[in-house]
């Protein structure tokens, strides 16, 4: 059975894209077949994988100019549906059409049997692209940056998931909350403590440490395993993949 995981947080910079890329690469190294979906007009995930073809992206699927998903092969076990800036132009027109909310689900239903995992990199908003992701997903992974005010806003995320579950997709469940960019500061440890006190076993045991190799890898258009296989980043994302597979 294919797990379709939305990587979510409407707060910016919480490592959604980094997690989509490196968790996807970690699964592929563990012999799982993975499809990454870039749903963010910023197209950071596509850029991190060196894909910048503006004419074959998820935007044309939402505009109904393409019938099927434009799937790019990255490696034998890793595939990508890219995004482009065009997404931001088509977003306003989508809200008035009820069918727009189910476009991604319809597309993923056609291909999901080909993959073990589909990871959807959501934009930092709870708009129609994120709603498409939640309607299409079996699971949600919420990235929480270990920083001041990180817990504020988690209620908003949880409310949206609850609404989607009640009205549109009753099989969706929260896979877990992932602490990212942790370090040895007091504030980082306090956030981790509060998150575990509030959300208990819903918080992954694995945390992703702050690690400069992670940022360098994306800038070099590589996943962390190709860039620095011995780094904390590579160790942490492998540990996360194994925790999810258990």
Binding mask 29-68 for Mg ion (x = CB under 5 A): ---------------x------------------------
Site for ligand ATP in 95-124 (CB under 6 A): 124
Among 10, 11, 16, 29, binds Mg ion (CB under 5 A): 16
Binding mask 183-202 for ligand ATP (x = CB under 6 A): --------------------
Question: Closest Cα to residue 7, out of 102, 109, 124, 105?
Answer: 124
Residue 180's φ and ψ, nearest 5 degrees, are -125, 160
Q: Counting contacts by CB under 5 A, is residue 10 touching Mg ion?
A: no
Binding mask 220-239 for Mg ion (x = CB under 5 A): --------------------
Q: Counting contacts by CB under 6 A, is residue 210 touching ligand ATP?
A: yes
Q: Counting contacts by CB under 6 A, is residue 6 touching ligand ATP?
A: no
Q: Which residue is nearest to Mg ion (CB)?
A: 17
Please answer whether residues 184 and 191 qualify as being in contact, where contact means their C-beta atoms are separated by less than 8 angstroms: no
Alpha-carbon distance of 3 to 146, in angstroms, equals 26
Alpha-carbon distance of 141 to 19, in angstroms, equals 10
Alpha-carbon distance of 217 to 178, in angstroms, equals 20
Rg (CA), the chain: 17
Among 218, 228, 231, 238, binds ligand ATP (CB under 6 A): 218
Q: Counting contacts by CB under 5 A, is residue 20 touching Mg ion?
A: no
Among 208, 240, 241, 244, binds ligand ATP (CB under 6 A): 208
Task: Write the CB contacts of 206 (distance below 8 Å, at least 6 apart in sequence).
Answer: 178, 236, 239, 240, 243
Task: Write the CB contacts of 146 (distance below 8 Å, at least 6 apart in sequence).
Answer: 179, 180, 181, 182, 183, 187, 188, 191, 192, 207
The residues of the shown chain that bind Mg ion, judged by CB under 5 A, are 16-17, 44
The residues of the shown chain that bind ligand ATP, judged by CB under 6 A, are 12-18, 40, 42, 44, 124, 180-181, 208, 210-211, 214-215, 218
């Amino acid at each position: 059975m294919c797990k379709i995981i939305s990587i979510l947080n409407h707060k910016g910079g919480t490592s959604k894209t980094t997690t989509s890329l490196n968790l996807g690469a970690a699964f592929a190294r563990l012999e799982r077949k993975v499809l990454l979906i870039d749903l963010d007009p910023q197209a950071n995930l596509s850029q991190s994988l060196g894909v910048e073809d503006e004419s074959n992206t998820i935007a044309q699927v939402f505009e109904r100019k393409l019938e099927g998903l434009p799937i790019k092969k990255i490696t034998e076990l890793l595939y990508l549906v890219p995004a482009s800036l065009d997404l931001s132009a088509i977003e306003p027109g989508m809200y008035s059409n009820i069918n727009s909310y189910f476009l991604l689900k319809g597309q993923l239903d056609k291909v999901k049997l080909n993959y073990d995992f589909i990871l959807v990199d959501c934009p930092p908003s709870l708009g129609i692209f994120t709603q498409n992701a939640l309607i299409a997903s079996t699971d949600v992974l919420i990235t929480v940056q270990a920083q001041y005010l990180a817990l504020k806003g988690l209620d908003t995320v949880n409310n949206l998931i609850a609404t989607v579950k009640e009205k549109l997709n009753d099989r969706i469940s929260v896979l877990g909350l992932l602490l990212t960019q942790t370090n040895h500061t007091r504030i980082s440890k306090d956030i981790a403590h509060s998150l575990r006190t509030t959300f208990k076993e819903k918080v992954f045991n694995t945390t992703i440490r702050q690690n400069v190799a992670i940022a360098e890898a994306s800038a070099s258009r590589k996943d962390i395993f190709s860039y620095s296989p011995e780094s904390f980043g590579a160790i942490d994302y492998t540990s996360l993949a194994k925790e999810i597979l258990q």
